Amino acid sequence: MQNELKIALIQSDLVWENPEQNRVNFKKKIDNISAAVDVIILPEMFTTGFTMNAKVVAETMDGETISWMKDLALKTEAAIVGSIVISENNKFYNRLLFVEPSGFISSYDKRHTFTLVGENKTYTAGKEKVILHYKGWKIRPLICYDLRFPVWSRNTEDYDVLLYVANWPKPRVSAWDVLLKARAIENMCYCIGVNRVGVDGLNSMYSGHSAVYDVLGEELTSFKSNEEDIQIVTLEKRHIRAYRNKLKFLDDRDVFSFT
């Protein structure tokens, strides 16, 4: 078990519906990470942007992007994380992939599809809670719109890290900032959010605001709005243990179940 986990967050523009070019661009960025890290996080739908044109861009779990992620994870000795459009059993999913250097893949299908733009009409919502176990850390992966639903992310499993990948638009980025911080505080965990920048093929604007918050809601990153950047943050188990032992708020959490 590692007491520290070093995370690289890549805040990037995306090329609209062009998986090949996005893979090329992200490989260049990843190749420029000189420090050894444990996890590299890319945005939601990092090969395409937030598209409803699933039939054109969807890949399978044996597709090129999966192979690309496996190769990079092996080369960097770091887990590669991000969501892409997956076709499976005649359905489309907005699926987060956590690809380890060993080649082992964990996945999470976005539960809360974004009805405002019809994501629910194109993509099948996931139903499964996922807790990843990596290097002694318990990580809860979620995607973008999931951030607005605190019951779904409630820390009933004593996970260490809450991880969101996103295409969260600029007009509502203040909500992104507040909700990421709130999720860290209420769940007494590190909360990571990786968002894109730039303008997509539908003229939606994205300003980034990627961030890491600690158990007390203190921001550990300094991303600038509208700019591509890579930042590395070290998470510490002792920070989580110290404050959960001192401030036993999770002991008073409500008990509930999903129906």
Among this protein's residues, is 110 annotated catalytic? Answer: yes
Among this protein's residues, is 191 annotated catalytic? Answer: no
Say how far apart CA 246 and CA 6 lie, in whole Å. Answer: 25
Say how far apart CA 194 and CA 197 lie, in whole Å. Answer: 10
Say how far apart CA 218 and CA 235 lie, in whole Å. Answer: 13
Selecting among 110, 170, 186, 191, the annotated active-site residue is: 110
DSSP secondary structure string, 159-222? -SEEEEEE---GGGHHHHHHHHHHHHHHHTSEEEEEE-EEE-TT--EEE---EEE-TT--B---
User: SS3 for 240?
Assistant: helix
Selecting among 17, 70, 100, 144, the annotated active-site residue is: 144
* Closest alpha carbon to 257 in 184, 156, 189, 183: 156
Residues forming a β-bridge with 106: 98
Active-site residues: which are they?
A: 44, 110, 144
